[in-house]
A and B are shown apart, each in its own frame.
Chain A
Amino acid sequence: MNIEDLRKAIAEIKGEAKDITKRLLDEGVDPVRILEDGIVKGLYDLGDKFERHEAFIPDLVKGSKLARECIEMIEKVLPREKAEAKKKVVIGTMLSKHNIGKNLVSTFLTINGFEVHDLGENLEPWDFYEKAEEIGADIIAVSVVFTPALSKFEELIRILKEMGVRDKYKVLVGGAVTSKEWAEKAGADGWAGDVEGAVKAAKELLGVS
């Protein structure tokens, strides 16, 4: 069993990915390599299959769940000082229970080295503000997937300004009913239309590679 097997197991959504992860860790393989070359590449392979119409939403959800389980095993053995240096992201879905996109972004931000605080769904603007203040976030990432939540996002920006903390955070937004133009007008620092775009935008906003 090697990292390529792990990559394939993730891409094909096979439960054995967890056994392979454990075995690789037991064998002393660098956890960062397991993460980047096994899990992340496997998830990107699965994403490519989705783009080619060879995988479907339930497959993405299952793949994301499987990857999260493997990542949890890896996080336990990652060097502590690396974890402490992580940039912090507060993420959640505004006003709605939908979470597929948000959860995928959350997973990908985690595997790209961010410390992600996932607030879940059905959130109000104050939830983002309070958590960001509590943990000293670098980024507030908001998923907006239905129309009434658009004005709630604008309310969040207003709250951040009124509380005098707007410049403390980079605010990233995305979701089914958003667009780049709307995000700019609403006062976001960045917008993403897909998972890869969200990771790229988060890195660019903080100037990290």
Chain B
Amino acid sequence: MASVRVGGQPGENPTVLIGTIFYEGHKIVSDPVKGLFDRGKAEELVSCQDELSDETGNPCMLDVVGRTAEALKKYVEFASEATDSPILVDSPLAEARLEACKHAVEVGLGERIVYNSINPEASREEIEKIRDIGLKAAIVLAFSEYEFEPEDKMRILQGNDGLIAKAEKAGIEKVLVDLSVLDVASIAYTAASIQMVKEKLGLPSGCSPANAFDTWRKAGEFKPQVKRACLAALNVFVRCFGADFILYGPVEAADTVFPSCAAADAILTYSLVTGGYEVKDKNTPLYKIL
């Protein structure tokens, strides 16, 4: 996906870590409708993620969230200047996502854009617009609050009305499957779903364990550093169950997430090495952080 390799057997390619910026309530945003923000602080955050990516060997992407098309277009333009990483264009509103993606393609950023996301509610109109814009990469979000078991996720993804078919109709050639989480306990289902999707569909899969924090009732009692350690643990957990990419939450958490996931990646790669696997690309956590 753009310059980033995603997927493969555990240990073959390092986890792709995706931080989110301009999320709802992000303090660096002063006007979420017009897309006004503190550029200096935003640059610091993006640079920090890029540097950690270089230090650990874990590739990164930037998930850019906007409430309106106007804001999202500005954010994406900023991101394209601040980093060379692929950019996920993310909004709760399809119109905002589509308009921002159209603008990104028009200014020559098409190759770096990942549509976030094609979900079960995606209308025929949205799918047609994605195709017309000419996007080639997307997250498909296998999310349903009533269907969270691995077999349910497979049903959401497969078939004529499934998300994979929708992505194909939209002209998407590179798909990342986000298996979603409801709460911390539900990550048990997510982890099993990641394994099933990789095994049966052979598609790069991952999730966003950070979303579980919203419903983690006792986490409110934790000190900030404990929360960060817990976030790292959740990310490492899903990596060990095969996640190829992780939307790790606010980009501010990069300093905790990258080293912890890199350690897990290093162990996974070394387990391949002990079985005779030859690591061709030395730009990998095993040779960068141990």
A112 within 8 A of B: no
Contacts of A97 in B (CB 8 A): 119-121, 143
Contacts of B186 in A (CB 8 A): 56-58
Contacts of B67 in A (CB 8 A): 147-148
Knowing that A121-B121, A176-B214 are A-B contacts, what are 7 other residue pairs whose CB atoms are under 8 Å apart, sorted by A's residue number? A56-B186, A95-B92, A97-B119, A99-B146, A100-B182, A122-B121, A146-B24
Digit string of A136-149 for contact with B (CB within 8 Å is 1, else 0)? 00000000001110
A178 within 8 A of B: no
26 pairs of residues in contact across A and B, judged by CB atoms under 8 Å: A56-B183, A56-B184, A56-B185, A56-B186, A57-B182, A57-B183, A57-B186, A57-B215, A58-B148, A58-B182, A61-B146, A61-B148, A61-B182, A95-B92, A97-B119, A97-B121, A97-B143, A99-B146, A103-B146, A121-B121, A146-B92, A147-B24, A147-B67, A148-B67, A148-B93, A176-B214
B interface, by DSSP: helix, strand, loop or mixed?
loop
Docked Cα-Cα span, A95 to B67, in Å, equals 12
Chain A nearest Cβ from B185, distance in angstroms: 4
Contacts of A65 in B (CB 8 A): 146
Within 8 A of B (CB), among A153-209: 176
Asked if B145 and A61 make an inter-chain contact with CB atoms under 8 angstroms apart, the answer reads: yes
Chain B nearest Cβ from A51, distance in angstroms: 10
Docked Cα-Cα span, A57 to B217, in Å, equals 11
Q: Which residue of B lies closest to A55 (CB)?
A: B185
Asked if B218 and A53 make an inter-chain contact with CB atoms under 8 angstroms apart, the answer reads: yes
Docked Cα-Cα span, A75 to B24, in Å, equals 42
Q: Select B185's contact among A57, A103, A146, A148, beta carbons within 8 Å.
A: A57
Q: Which residue of B lies closest to A97 (CB)?
A: B121
Docked Cα-Cα span, A147 to B92, in Å, equals 10
A interface residues, how many (CB within 8 angstroms):
20
Question: Which residues from chain B sit less than 8 Å from chain A, CB to CB?
Answer: 24-25, 67, 92-93, 119-121, 143, 145-146, 148, 182-186, 189, 214-215, 217-218
A interface, by DSSP: helix, strand, loop or mixed?
loop
Question: Which residues from chain A sit less than 8 Å from chain B, CB to CB?
Answer: 53, 56-59, 61, 65, 95-100, 103, 121-122, 146-148, 176
Q: Select A58's contact among B92, B143, B185, beta carbons within 8 Å.
A: B185
Chain A nearest Cβ from B99, distance in angstroms: 15
Docked Cα-Cα span, A61 to B146, in Å, equals 6
Q: Which residue of A lies closest to B94 (CB)?
A: A122
Chain A nearest Cβ from B239, distance in angstroms: 22
Docked Cα-Cα span, A122 to B122, in Å, equals 11
Q: Which residue of A lies closest to B188 (CB)?
A: A58
Docked Cα-Cα span, A93 to B121, in Å, equals 14
Q: Which residue of A lies closest to B185 (CB)?
A: A56
Asked if A100 and B93 make an inter-chain contact with CB atoms under 8 angstroms apart, the answer reads: no
Chain B nearest Cβ from A69, distance in angstroms: 12
Docked Cα-Cα span, A122 to B148, in Å, equals 20
Docked Cα-Cα span, A53 to B145, in Å, equals 20
Docked Cα-Cα span, A96 to B121, in Å, equals 10
Asked if A53 and B92 make an inter-chain contact with CB atoms under 8 angstroms apart, the answer reads: no
